[in-house]
C-alpha cells in the first residue's frame, strides 16, 4: 500500500545540479572573454569523459543508467575540474583527471551521495601531483598583448602537442598570479613591487580577477535560488579574508591584501561551487561554518607557506575528512529541547 505523503514538490537532483551548472556560466563567459575559447574545449572534453566514465562505472556496478546519467552530477564534476586546470593542458590530462574523479573518488566510494571527497578536487590533486609542470601552463590574458595562439593553434597543441613554428610554450603561457607572487617573494621582491607587474589588475591577476567575479555572481544566483545557504561561502571568504588580513596588517611588504586572495586562484569558485557540494560538506549550520572556516584558514596557510601555489583543493580535501566528526559534534537541539527561554 502506498503511504503518505501522496504529493511531492517537483524538484530533482538533476534540476539542482543543472542550476549549479547554470550558475557557472557567467564565470565561463568571462573566462572566454579574457582568455579565449580554449576553456570550452577542456569543458567539452571533461564532460564527455565524465559521462562515459559514469556510464561504464554504472554498468560495472549494475546500476540503472538513465536516472544516474540524467542527474547531471557527473557533468558538474567535469566542469568544476575543467575550470580548475589550465585550458591548454593536453587532452589526456583532462581525460585522466576526470576519469579518476568519477571512477575512483565517486563510484568506488559508492556513487552519488556516498563519496567522502569532492571528486573534482581529487581529480585536481591527482593532476597537480602527477603532472606539476603541465599544471603551470596557464593562458595569458588578451589584455597583456603578448603572443596569442589562434583557436586552431590551441586545438593543435591540446590534441597533438604541436605549437606553431618558432614558439615555445613559455612564450604563450604564464604562471598564475598566485604562483608569480610566490616566486617573486622568494626572489626578494616586496608585495608593492610585485603588484606593479603587468600581469596584475585592479585587485589580483588581470583577467582572472574578472573570472572570479563571474563565479561570485553565479554564487549569488545560487544563494537567491536557495540552492546553497550563506553559511559555507560567507564563512569561507570571511576566514580567508580575516587570516589574510591579519598577515597583511602585520607585514604588508610580504603579505598581499585579503582582496587579492579573494579574487585569486580558486577562492570564489571554491566558496560558491566546491565547498558547497552537499555530499562532501557538513549538514548542520554550525558544522558548515566550522568546515568553511577551516577550509579558509587552510587555503591561506597553503598559499602563503605551503608548496603549492593555491590551497583551495587541498584545504577542501582535508576538511572533507572531518565532515563526519563535525556533523556529530554540531547536532542542533530539536524542537522543545532547546532550554533557555520558557
Partner 1 sequence: MKAAFKFHGGVHPPTHKTESTRTPIAQTALPSKLVIPLHQHVGARAKPVVQVGEHVLKGQMIGKPEGRLSNAVHASTSGTVSAIDLQLVAHHSGQPDLCVTIVPDGRDEWIAHTGVDYKQTAHTELRHLLRQAGVVGLGGAVFPSDLKAYSNKHKIKTMVLNGAECEPYITCDDMLMRERPADILRGAEVLRELLYAEEILIGIEDNKPEAIAAMRQAVIDGKHEHMTVVAVPTVYPSGGAKQLMRILTGIEVAAGVRSTEKGLQCFNVATAYSAWRAIAHGEPLLSRIVTVTGNVAHAQNFEVLLGTPVDELMAQAGSRPDTDKHIMGGPMMGVQLPSATVGITKAANCIIASSPALFPPPKPALPCIRCTRCAEVCPAELQPQDLYWFAKANNFGKAQEFHLFDCIECGACTYVCPSNIPLVNYYRYAKSEIWAREQEAQAAELARERHEFRQLRIEREKQEKAEKLAQKEKAAAVAKAASDAVQMPTATPLGPNADPDDAMQLRIDAALARAKEQASAAHPKNTETLTPQQHAEIAEADARRAKAHEMALSDAEQKSE
Q: Which range, of 21-29, 245-253, 276-284, 304-312, touches partner 1 by CB under 8 A?
A: 276-284
For partner 1, which residue of 54, 71, 179, 209 counts as binding (CB under 8 A)? 71
Is 342 a binding residue for partner 1 by CB under 8 A? The answer is: yes
With respect to partner 1, which residue has the nearer C-beta, 70 or 156?
A: 70
With respect to partner 1, which residue has the nearer C-beta, 264 or 316?
A: 316
Is 62 a binding residue for partner 1 by CB under 8 A? The answer is: no
With respect to partner 1, which residue has the nearer C-beta, 12 or 184?
A: 12
Write down the residue that cell numbers 590551497 correspond to.
311
Is 341 a binding residue for partner 1 by CB under 8 A? The answer is: yes
| Number of chain residues interacting with partner 1 (CB under 8 A) | 38
Angle (CA) 100 32 124, round 5°: 20
Question: By C-alpha distance, which of 114, 115, 134, 112 is closest to 124?
Answer: 134
User: What distance in Å separates the CA atoms of residue 281 and residue 321, rounded to the nearest whole number?
Assistant: 9
- Residue 100 CB, nearest distance to partner 1 (Å)? 21
Other CB atoms within a 10 A radius of the CB of residue 223 amount to 17
In contact, 150 and 142? CB cutoff 8 Å: no
Is 225 a binding residue for partner 1 by CB under 8 A? The answer is: no
Q: Which range, of 2-10, 88-96, 267-275, 312-320, touches partner 1 by CB under 8 A?
A: 2-10
Q: Which set of grid coordinates corresponds to residue 18?
A: 543543472
Angle (CA) 180 185 187, round 5°: 100
Is 278 a binding residue for partner 1 by CB under 8 A? The answer is: yes
Angle (CA) 167 310 53, round 5°: 80
Is 332 a binding residue for partner 1 by CB under 8 A? The answer is: yes
DSSP structural state of residue 205: B
User: What distance in Å separates the CA atoms of residue 299 and residue 320, rounded to the nearest whole number?
Assistant: 13
In the complex, the residues that contact partner 1 under the rule CB under 8 A are 1-9, 11-13, 15-16, 67-68, 71, 73, 111-114, 278-279, 281, 283-284, 327, 331-338, 341-342
Amino acid at each position: 500500500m502506498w503511504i503518505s505523503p501522496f504529493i511531492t514538490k517537483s524538484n530533482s537532483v538533476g534540476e539542482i545540479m543543472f542550476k549549479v551548472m547554470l550558475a557557472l556560466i557567467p564565470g565561463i563567459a568571462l573566462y572566454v572573454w579574457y582568455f579565449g575559447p580554449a576553456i570550452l574545449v577542456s569543458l567539452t572534453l571533461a564532460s564527455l569523459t565524465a559521462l562515459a566514465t559514469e556510464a561504464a562505472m554504472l554498468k560495472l556496478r549494475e546500476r540503472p543508467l538513465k536516472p544516474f546519467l540524467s542527474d547531471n552530477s557527473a557533468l558538474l564534476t567535469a566542469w568544476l575540474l575543467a575550470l580548475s586546470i589550465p585550458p591548454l593542458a593536453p587532452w589526456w590530462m583532462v581525460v585522466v583527471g576526470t576519469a579518476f574523479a568519477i571512477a575512483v573518488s565517486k563510484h568506488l566510494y559508492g556513487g552519488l551521495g556516498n563519496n567522502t571527497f569532492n571528486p573534482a578536487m581529487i581529480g585536481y590533486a591527482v593532476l597537480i601531483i602527477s603532472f606539476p609542470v603541465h599544471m603551470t601552463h596557464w593562458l595569458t590574458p588578451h589584455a597583456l598583448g603578448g603572443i596569442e595562439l589562434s583557436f586552431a593553434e590551441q586545438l593543435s597543441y591540446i590534441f597533438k602537442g604541436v605549437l606553431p613554428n618558432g614558439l615555445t610554450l613559455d612564450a604563450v603561457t604564464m604562471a598564475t598570479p598566485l604562483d608569480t607572487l610566490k616566486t617573486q617573494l622568494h626572489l626578494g621582491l616586496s608585495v608593492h613591487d610585485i603588484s606593479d607587474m603587468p600581469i596584475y589588475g585592479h585587485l589580483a591577476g588581470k583577467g582572472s580577477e574578472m573570472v572570479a567575479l563571474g563565479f561570485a555572481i553565479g554564487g549569488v544566483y545560487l544563494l537567491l535560488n536557495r540552492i546553497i545557504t550563506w553559511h559555507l561561502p560567507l564563512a569561507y571568504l570571511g576566514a580567508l579574508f580575516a587570516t589574510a588580513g591579519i598577515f597583511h596588517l602585520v607585514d604588508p611588504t610580504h603579505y598581499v591584501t585579503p582582496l587579492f586572495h579573494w579574487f585569486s586562484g580558486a577562492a570564489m569558485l571554491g566558496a560558491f561551487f566546491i565547498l558547497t557540494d552537499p555530499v562532501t560538506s557538513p549538514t548542520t549550520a554550525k558544522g558548515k561554518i566550522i568546515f568553511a572556516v577551516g577550509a579558509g584558514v587552510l587555503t591561506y596557510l597553503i598559499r602563503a607557506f605551503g608548496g603549492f601555489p593555491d590551497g583551495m583543493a587541498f584545504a577542501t580535501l582535508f576538511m572533507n575528512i572531518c565532515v563526519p566528526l563535525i556533523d556529530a559534534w554540531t547536532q542542533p537541539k530539536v524542537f522543545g529541547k532547546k532550554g533557555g527561554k520558557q
